[in-house]
Amino acid sequence: MTVDRRTVLKHLAAGGVGAGAALLGLQARAESLPATIRIGVAQPGIGNPPQFSGSSAAVANAKGWVEEEFKADGIKVDWFFFKGAGPAVNEALTNKQLDFAFQGDLPSIVAKSAGLKTKLVLATGVRSNIYLAVPPDSPIQSVKDLRGKRVAIFKGTNAQLPINRVLEANGLQERDLRAINLDQATTLAALSTKDIDAAFGNINLLRLRDKSAARIVYSSKGGSPIFTTQSHVLVTEEFAQKYPTITTRVVKTFVKTSKWASDEVNREEVLRLWAKAGTPYENWREDYDGEPLRVRINPNFDPFLVARYKDSVEQAYRLKLSRAKFDVDQWIDQSYLKAALKDLHLETYWPVFQVNGKILGT
C-alpha cells in the first residue's frame, strides 16, 4: 500500500484522527528514518548546553522535547546556532547542512528568491518588538532625528524590513542614514563607546539602558504590529518529501510546546528560561508586560502574518534586497500545522489576527 503525505494530512485535517494515526503508522514503516534531525537557529547559543530565547522553538530546545519525541526511534537531534543570524543559516541550508531552521522573514525570503527550496511550517517568535537606542547624552529624541546619523542596523535579518517601515513612517529611508551593518554584540559595544549615534535592535538594548549606557527613544511596543519582527520554523523540501512522517511529528512537537509556553500559568517559567540565554528576566518581563503570551507564542499563519510575509516579499524586492518575487501562499505549507492543531484540539486556542493587526472579533 502506498501512502503519501497529502493522504495522511487530509485524513488528519478532516478529523479522522484514528484513521490518520493508522496511516502515519503505515507510512512510518514504509519510509526510512533519518539518523539525525538537524535544526538551525538564527541566534547565537548561550551557555552550556547552549540556549536561545524569545520563541517556542527556544523552549523546545531548553526542555529537550524534540529529542524526547524521537528518542525511542534512535534519531539524534542536533541544534546549530549561528552568530551571523539569518544570512548564516541560509548558507548552511544552501550547503544542505540543515533540515529545519528557526529564522526570520527577510533572510528566508532572500534565500527563497534565490532558489532555495524550503517550506514554512510553523510560526514562532512573532510580533516581537524592536527598539531604537542612543547614548544617554545624545540630542536625538526620536526616529525623525536620525537623518545623517551613524545608525547600527543588523542587515539581512528580520529586523531590517520593520526598521525600514518605521523610517518610512517618519519620513525617512535607510539611505538617509549612515547605516552601519553590525551584529547584536558589536552593536551593544559600539553604542556603549559612542562609536555610533544610534542603534536599532531588539530587547537586548534594554540591557544597556539599565546600565545607564543608553537611552531608548523608540519602541514598537504598544504600537502597530506592522513595526514588529516575524519568525518561523521552516523545513527543506528535500527533507519533507523524504521524511513526511518525521516532519509531521516535528511540527506537532513544536505545536505542543507553543501550547505549554503560551499558557499564562507558565509565564514566569518561560521568561526565566529565556533569561538563561543572556537577557535578564526583568527585561523579558518588561517586554511582555501587558501582553498575553498567546499573542507572540502563536504557531498560526493567520491572515495578519500571511499578509506581513506577502508585504515583506514586495518590500524586499523593492529595496533590492531579494532577487525576485514569489507566491507566498505556495511557500507556506499549513498542512502539517493544521493536522497538529486538529489532532491536539487546539484549532481555536490562539487569537487570530486580521490583516490590519487587530484580533478577530475585536
Q: DSSP letters along 64-102, please?
A: THHHHHHTTTT-EEEEEE-TTHHHHHHHHHHTT--SEEE
Last residue of a domain, one of 205, 227, 249: 227
User: 29: pLDDT confidence band, cut at 50, 70 and 90?
Assistant: low
State the average pLDDT for the chain.
92
Residue 286 clears pLDDT 90, i.e. is over it: yes
DSSP E strands in the chain: the ranges are 36-41, 76-81, 100-104, 118-123, 131-134, 150-153, 178-181, 198-201, 215-219, 231-236
Q: Are 67 and 136 in contact, with CB atoms under 8 Å apart?
A: no
User: 362: pLDDT confidence band, cut at 50, 70 and 90?
Assistant: low
Evaluate whether residue 180 is within a structural domain.
Answer: yes
For position 30, what pLDDT does the model report?
61
For position 310, what pLDDT does the model report?
97
Q: Are residues 161 and 185 in the same domain?
A: yes
For position 17, what pLDDT does the model report?
44
Evaluate whether residue 196 is within a structural domain.
Answer: yes
**Average pLDDT of the segment spanning 295-300:** 96
C-alpha 237/C-alpha 244 separation (Å) is: 10
C-alpha 185/C-alpha 152 separation (Å) is: 11
Q: Are residues 35 and 181 in the same domain?
A: no
C-alpha 307/C-alpha 226 separation (Å) is: 10
User: For the domain that residue 168 is a member of, what is the CATH number?
Assistant: 3.40.190.10
**Average pLDDT of the segment spanning 120-138:** 96
Strand, helix or coil for residue 165: helix
Residues 6+ apart with CB under 8 A from 163: 130, 153, 174, 200
Evaluate whether residue 357 is within a structural domain.
Answer: no
C-alpha 19/C-alpha 158 separation (Å) is: 40
Q: Are residues 263 and 114 in the same domain?
A: yes
Evaluate whether residue 271 is within a structural domain.
Answer: yes
Q: Are residues 300 and 164 in the same domain?
A: no
Last residue of a domain, one of 212, 227, 242: 227
Q: Are residues 122 and 234 in the same domain?
A: yes
Evaluate whether residue 19 is within a structural domain.
Answer: no
Q: Are 151 and 198 in contact, with CB atoms under 8 Å apart?
A: yes
Q: Are residues 121 and 55 in the same domain?
A: yes
Domain range for 183 is 131-227
Evaluate whether residue 294 is within a structural domain.
Answer: yes
Q: Are residues 136 and 174 in the same domain?
A: yes
C-alpha 152/C-alpha 131 separation (Å) is: 12
Residue 158 CB neighbours (<10 A): 28
Strand, helix or coil for residue 279: coil
Q: Are residues 238 and 332 in the same domain?
A: yes
Q: Are residues 234 and 107 in the same domain?
A: yes
- Total domains in the chain come to 2
Of 1-15, 120-134, 295-309, where does mean pLDDT reach its minimum? 1-15
> Minimal CA–CA distance to 99: which of 70, 133, 56?
70
Q: Are residues 252 and 297 in the same domain?
A: yes
Q: Are residues 260 and 209 in the same domain?
A: no
Which triple of cell numbers denotes residue 281?
528576566
Q: Are residues 95 and 242 in the same domain?
A: yes
C-alpha 133/C-alpha 148 separation (Å) is: 16
C-alpha 30/C-alpha 47 separation (Å) is: 40
Q: Is the dihedral of CA 28, 32, 34, 39 positive or negative?
A: negative
Which triple of cell numbers denotes residue 346?
487546539
Evaluate whether residue 99 is within a structural domain.
Answer: yes
Q: In sequence order, what are the beta bridge partners of 150?
A: 178
Evaluate whether residue 199 is within a structural domain.
Answer: yes
Last residue of a domain, one of 180, 199, 227: 227
Residues of the chain by 3-state class (helix, strand, coil), percent to 5: 45, 15, 40
User: 114: pLDDT confidence band, cut at 50, 70 and 90?
Assistant: very high
